[in-house]
Chains A and B, each alone.
Chain A
């Protein structure tokens, strides 16, 4: 868990701040270059969350908001591992996830899409990774939905993931997409990622070996956080 600074973030792999195809980014993108800051203790540490935080149904979106019934939609399991760039599992990582319901509607005051809310589906959950970095959640497959960007832009089905590693420098929010969805390659938000190979890192394959027969299909989604240097050969250890 202890260690040196985190590997430099590859800003050509991540989306740029200014991506005019995604219109909202135009006035929300910093125009000056970010100032490089080799990690200090303020970035190498980060909040750590314990199992006391997590309720029994927090990772089960079929149950955690149900009001006497089952959510409508295709039952799925999403599972995988949180790894760092060295390939090691990240234990105790807090994952938070949120999504639209099966009709593509979010449970949010400002959401205006005409698809109906599902009284048994809230659309949020969370879990902590195990000792080897693995996690699992159960939900319904979210629907695609239209959004005001181009006049006829639709988001592919997706689940948002927020991830805490061990250092605040690793903080990451991303989205998981579903194998085979033709909307992925038409989406202006997906297209903010410049490299097709990077987009593919966000597309979860169908994983029938983890399906529950006659119940739920499964998708596999691994998440990679920044790796960190060893301090073995560092001369100065203060602050590490």
Chain B
């Protein structure tokens, strides 16, 4: 026998279920008056620095049907590449930017939407810059453990080409599942990031 290590085990995950919106976006689900507004509904205000963008997309199952009960969360740096909050040690992020967004899929179309700003680059562990990206987390009925992925920007070709995370992906044909193309809609830059849970174009998910 040896001494025992004192670690605890992480609580096991369970699916968020079909009614995740009751707990995470109650106003959206029709439960009004409990919270003033849903958490993560507003990432920016009038004074936020950076280029205003919109991120939209849908989550598709293996049959190609858009999920109508998913919840998508994003976490991203500000326009200068700093994360809001006390664990950021490289400086202080824009106080007018939350960094955190949460969107329920539309109950009819399944489309999620984030009104945000384009993030600046943040460093990799060895100090090299990572290409600008948004960290994405997806939960829904039928997903037993929340899925982590990343969205990169289609107009950042040079930065994407040398990104240390993208560079290590063996199956090069899958890299495009992480890159959102940019279009303009009514003058607003829109990045479309569709997430495919299964199938030929399955999105890359990360074990982080």
Contact = CB atoms under 8 A, between A and B. Distances in A.
19 contacts: A14-B144, A16-B144, A22-B15, A22-B142, A27-B62, A29-B143, A30-B198, A38-B125, A43-B135, A46-B85, A47-B85, A87-B6, A108-B29, A126-B35, A167-B87, A172-B13, A175-B14, A193-B14, A238-B126
Nearest to A177: B14
Interface residues of A, number: 91
Interface stretch (B109-117, B180-188, B199-207): B199-207
Contacts of B145: 11, 14-15, 17
Report, as a range, how many residues of chain B touch the other chain. Answer: 35 or more
A170 B13 CA distance: 11
Interface of A: 1-2, 6-7, 9-11, 13-17, 19, 22, 24-32, 34-49, 53, 55, 58, 64-65, 83-87, 96-98, 106-111, 122-126, 160, 162, 166-169, 171-175, 189-190, 192-193, 198-199, 201-202, 223-227, 236, 238-240
Nearest to B76: A42
Contacts of A168: 75, 135, 137
| Most central of B9, B15, B35, B73 by chain A CB within 10 Å | B15
Contacts of A65: 31, 33-34
Contact of A227 (B7, B88, B199): B7
Contacts, number: 284
Interface of B: 6-24, 26, 29-31, 33-36, 39-40, 61-63, 65, 67, 69, 73, 75-77, 83-89, 98-100, 107, 122-127, 130, 133, 135, 137, 139-148, 150, 165, 168-169, 174, 197-199, 202-208
Contact of A189 (B14, B67, B87, B148): B14
